[in-house]
Amino acid sequence: MAKTAPSSASASLLPWLGLAAIVILLDQITKAMILRTFAYGDSVTITPWFNIVRAHNTGAAFSFLAGASGWQRWMFVGLGVAAAGFIIWMLRKHGGQRLFATALALILGGALGNVIDRLLHGYVVDFIQVHHAGWFFPAFNVADSAISVGAACLILDELLRVRRGR
């Protein structure tokens, strides 16, 4: 039986799924290191503006809904899975658009990295803390960073698309 070549849609999807997998791997490795090394609430000062801290977030960005009774865990898992499905669909359609697809792959990897945490632990492990003069930005992680960079790339992609359209 002869092998058939992969379809162009699946071939163009593979690099983006690979990028998402790298994000997930880096995210989960760093979180495992934090869980193994730090007790909840421990903090180590790295620079005058940067700490490594072990924090748990049962909510969404900026601890939105963290104080809810537990239902939010499953809502955020469901949202993450739904978003992943939509992103994969978008990647299948637009895998040839490099910046757009890179943005989507970063967001996909970040979303799934945090979904894995919610499924394994019931919370997302955060450990990067930036601060200045008594002001502390909420702790975050590699997945959150990938989502933020991906969102910035989406904005840049749209700005470039608008500029090209003039």
Residues 146, 158: Cα–Cα separation, whole Å: 18
| pTM assigned to the model | 0.87
Please report whether residue 42 resides in a domain.
Answer: no
26 located within any domain: no
Residue found under tokens 């955060």? 126
Quote the domain boundaries for residue 126. Answer: 52-165
Round to whole Å and give the CA distance between 58 and 120.
12
Residue 80 lies in a domain: yes
- pLDDT, residue 9, reads 58
Band (pLDDT 50/70/90 cuts) for residue 71 is low
Q: Which of 27, 117, 126, 157 is catalytic?
A: 126
Q: How many domains does the chain have?
A: 1
Segment 21-41 shows an average pLDDT of: 97
Q: Which residues contact 50 (CB under 8 A, 6 or more apart)?
A: 128, 129, 130, 131
3 band by pLDDT with thresholds 50, 70 and 90: low
Domain-embedded: residue 157: yes
> Residue 3: how many CA atoms within 13 Å on its side-chain side?
2
Nearest 5°: phi and psi at 45?
Answer: -80, 125
Residue 41 lies in a domain: no
Q: Domain for residue 39, yes or no? A: no
Q: Is residue 28 in some structural domain?
A: no
- Does 27 participate in catalysis according to the annotation? no
Q: CB–CB of 129/53 below 8 Å?
A: yes
* Residue 126 known to be catalytic: yes
Catalytic residue among 27, 42, 117, 144: 144
The first and second tokens of residue 58, run together, are 């049962």
Is residue 65, in this structure, part of any structural domain at all? Answer: yes
